[in-house]
Amino acid sequence: MVYLKDFLYFLGRRAIGTVAIMFGVVVIVFLITHVLNPDPAALWAGARARVTTVESIKAQYHLGAPVLTQLYYFIIDTFTGNLGTDPVTGRSISSEILFYAPNTVELVLASLVITVIIGVALGYISGMHFSTKIDSAIRIVYLATWATPYYLGAIAAILIFAVAIPILPSGGMYSQALTPPHTITGLFVIDSLLNLNFPDFISGIRHLILPATVLAILDFGIVTRVTRSSVLDARWSTHVKSAKARGVPDGQANRRHILRNGLIDATTVSAVMFGWMLSGTVIIEEIFGWPGIGSFTYNAILNYDYPALVPIVIFFTLGVVIANFAADVIYSVLDPRITLGDAQTQS
Amino acid sequence: MTQSISETSGKMSARLKDTISKFRKLAFSNSLSTFGTVTVIVFGLLAILFYVTNGAIAPYRPNLQNLLDTNAAPSAAHWFGTDFAGRDIFSRVLAALPVDIGIPLFIVLLSALIGIVLGTIAGYIGGFVEEAIMRICDLFLAFPVIIMALVVAATLGPSLLNAALSLTFVWWPPYVRLVRGGVLALKSEDYMAASKAMNSSFFYIMRKGLLPNIIPAVMVYASLDVGTALLSVSSLGFLGVGIPPDMPELGSMVASISNNVYTYPWEALLPAVVVLLIVLGFSLFGDGIREASDVKVRPHMLLKKRMFGAMTPNDNV
């Protein structure tokens, strides 16, 4: 078993690494937005801004200062949450992000759950029926869904399940006729359940089904592929053979030694999926009218709202970094083969 | 003199024939990868034809508006119908092909080049240099692709080159990891030690010992990756960033039509399905090659000949 001391050491090491990556992320975003770009103030003010506006923006974001001073302010502002005001809505960008973030988290978590369930199940079936018709059928399914662009999946889902067979709502997060529940966790579906507000809960679930499933179905291919290849690795390995030779029933051997291996790999790849899904939310949320960071990003693009885009990319990236950290920790708990303290060689 | 030239060209053509026959075995190894290969070839030829003939193969000019014939359903005159401005959608799809196949190819090739250079340096030199390159890789892997590309594209301004560069900016790290993994595996081979003992230069070792063993794996990964790159390019187009607005691009065509999507669904669905077909084509093509050359799965695949060296993109996942 894992010793607590080793585990804490590993956790600390990983946490330091994560913070270092966060710093790196902020510095790279700074380089793109402040250094790569010859005249940041003009871009931040927009194409048709007056000279006075450009000047005031230059002062507000310290854009006239030397580069290192700018970097200093940028890092301080980013980590204290002082991200400036959104020129379109007039509210502070950090409050906008905090307002929209829970909705995106809800959507992504729901679709992550769906992804892992479908992905692992299909990958396991596919690996256990290697080189048969079932295997190639599943391969066609995951390649086809992986190849589907988000906008095609979303539009097709709306046309089928909201227009042709109107069983699900085509957009929004809950029915406008209902009052939203008290905020507890910020996630609509969980809040409504905790408040025992069942009409809200059902409405929330109904609105969640289409966007979450589309996001999940278009991305589960990676999980399937990884699970399948780890099932194939395990299937003919000596430890499974010896388990079966010892007289362990087939079903139990498959569950314990093959499926569990697949689950470990699926967890790691889920962190990668998280980044893809966050990217996908920009399109999915826009098409489904889901009030999350994705829609916020889309509107920022539409309005040439550059000051809002910069914190958004940092926010999204920090989400991925934290997800990677979480996946590392979960992986180290799940996989007994991992030797803590020497995690560096894993990459 | 003439004899030696004809001799070498004879050798070359034999080698070429050998490569072609190997490629055919891989690309047409089963019905799925045959479908992929055929799709890739058909769309690739259409894109090249459109580009070379400067649009002569399209039935209409892609930006020709005909306000008397807007939102027409698919018919013999307009195979894919017309859009809100009466432009022929089929011609626009053809016009988008060079962009939608060219940019992903550019992204993947440039990323592969960066990957080969940085990955070989990291794997071969090792030590601090390797550590630095790999940590920078980790950093760039953290960026969500489309979101980061959005910001880079918004910073650089709209042009095709900028759209391609903004995606390349986040596209290269997996290639560095792939190549570095391969170099590390090759480094311990005996012939590498022998070559070093003979005091061969780094570039000689790279040219003769490393690249021939690494490039096939990079190509397998890249052939799978072109489709993924196309998904991202067309997503940027859909979001209206990077790709110039007047340029026919499949994703931006879908976006420009999405107001009408309930009334005239084919206007959005047909260009989107073309994206699906191209991406699927590249995936099946690449996946077929990967499957046929996968070392891990190979022993159970009833003795198909081993094509590539010690590594596959899979080893690095």
- In single-letter form, the type of residue at position A294 comes to G
Instruction: Report the C-alpha gap between A253 and B200 in whole angstroms.
Output: 52
> Min CA distance, B51 vs chain A (Å)?
25
Query: Are A144 and B227 a contacting pair at CB < 8 A?
Result: no
What is the rounded distance in angstroms from the CA atom of residue A14 to the CA atom of residue A22? 12
Question: What's the count of helices (H) and strands (E) in chain A, helices before strands?
Answer: 15, 0
Residues of A in contact with B297 (CB under 8 A): 229, 232
> Between the CA of residue A38 and those of A57, B38, B160, B242, B316, what are the distances in Å?
15, 46, 20, 18, 38
Distance between CA A167 and CA A215 in Å, rounded? 19
* CA–CA distance, B4 with B28 (Å, rounded to integer): 36
Chain B interface includes A33 (CB < 8 A)? yes
CB pairs under 8 A between A and B: 154
Which stretches within chain B are classed as H helix? 2-27, 31-52, 89-125, 127-141, 145-156, 160-171, 173-187, 190-197, 202-205, 211-239, 250-257, 265-293
Contact A154, A287 (CB under 8 A): yes
Average pLDDT, chain A: 83
Nearest by CB to B227, from A147, A151, A276: name it: A147
* Lowest mean per-residue pLDDT among A42-46, A67-71, A150-154, B243-247: A42-46
| pLDDT attached to residue A284 | 93
Q: B145: which 2 tokens? A: 């692709």
pLDDT digits (tens, 9 = 90+) for B149-185: 988 988 888 889 999 999 999 999 999 999 998 888 8
B305 in A contact zone (CB under 8 Å): no
B315 contacts in A (CB within 8 Å)?
none
The DSSP-derived string for A74-101 is: HHHHHHHT---B-TTT-SBHHHHHHHHH
Judging contacts by C-beta atoms under 8 Å, the chain A residues touching residue B279 are 146-149
For residue A47, name the pLDDT band (cuts at 50, 70, 90).
Answer: low
Question: What percent of chain A is modeled with pLDDT above 90?
Answer: 17
B236 → chain A, closest CA residue: A283
Q: Which of A106-115, A130-139, A281-290 has the lowest mean pLDDT?
A: A130-139
3 state DSSP class of A185: coil
Choose between A345 and A19: higher pLDDT: A19
Residue B186 tokens read as 């090759």
> What distance in Å separates residue B275's CA from the closest CA in chain A?
7
For residue B182, how many other CB atoms are within 10 A of its CB? 28
Q: Give residue A339's pLDDT.
A: 55
Chain B contact set for A313 (CB, 8 A): 143, 147-148, 150-151
Q: What is the pLDDT of residue A243?
A: 83
The ipTM value here is 0.84
**Across chain B, where does the E strand assignment appear?**
none
pLDDT digits (tens, 9 = 90+) for A254-295: 877 788 877 888 877 887 788 778 888 999 999 999 999 999
Three-state secondary structure readout of B196-210: HHCCCCHHHHHHHHH
A19 touches B at CB < 8 Å: no
Q: Which of B135, B147, B284 sits opposite A282 (nearest CB)?
A: B147
Closest-CA distance, B12 to chain A, in angstroms, reads: 37
The gap between the terminal CA atoms of chain A, to the nearest Å, is 23
**Closest Cα in chain A, distance from residue B86 (Å):** 22
Residue B231 touches chain A, beta carbons under 8 Å: yes
Query: B-contacting residues of A 169-208, CB under 8 Å?
Result: none
The answer to whether the CB atoms of A229 and B314 lie below 8 A apart is yes
The verdict on a CB contact (< 8 Å) between B275 and A149 is: yes
Task: Give me the pLDDT at residue A319, please.
Answer: 85
Supply the DSSP symbol for A33. Answer: I
Q: How does pLDDT run across A144-160, given as a tens digit for each residue?
A: 888 899 999 999 999 99
Do B231 and A149 make contact, defined as CB atoms within 8 angstroms?
Answer: yes
- Give the pLDDT of residue B302: 30
Distance (Å, whole) CA A110 – CA A105: 8
Q: Within 10 Å of residue B8's Cβ, how many Cβ atoms?
A: 10
| Residue A345 contacts B, CB cutoff 8 Å | no
CA-CA-CA-CA torsion for A238, A243, A245, A247, nearest 10 degrees? -170
Nearest to B144 among A29, A146, A275 (CB): A275
Q: Do A147 and B239 touch (CB under 8 A)?
A: no
The whole-angstrom separation of Cα B151 and Cα A137 is: 39
What is the per-residue pLDDT for A320?
86
Give, in order, the Cα–Cα distances in Å from B85 to each of B56, B66, B178, B269.
21, 6, 47, 17
Residue ranges, chain B, pLDDT below 50 = 1-6, 295-317
* A92 DSSP β-pair partners: A85
List all residues of chain B from 15 to 54 with a beta carbon under 8 Å from chain A.
30, 32
Contact by Cβ (8 Å): B93, B80: yes
Residue A343 contacts B where some CB pair is shorter than 8 Å: no
Contact list, A310 vs chain B (CB under 8 Å):
151
Across the interface, whether the CB atoms of A136 and B32 are under 8 A apart is answered yes
* pLDDT at B258 (0 to 100): 66
CB contact under 8 A, B239 and A313: no
User: Which pLDDT score, from 0 to 100, does residue B295 have?
Assistant: 41
DSSP B43: H
Stronger pLDDT, B143 or A244, i.e. the higher one: B143
**Residues 205-234 (A) with a CB less than 8 A from some CB of B:** 226, 229, 232-233
pTM: 0.84
- Higher pLDDT: A32 or A328? It is A32
Q: Which range, A59-68, A198-207, B226-235, is most confident?
A: B226-235
Structural tokens at position A221: 């291919």
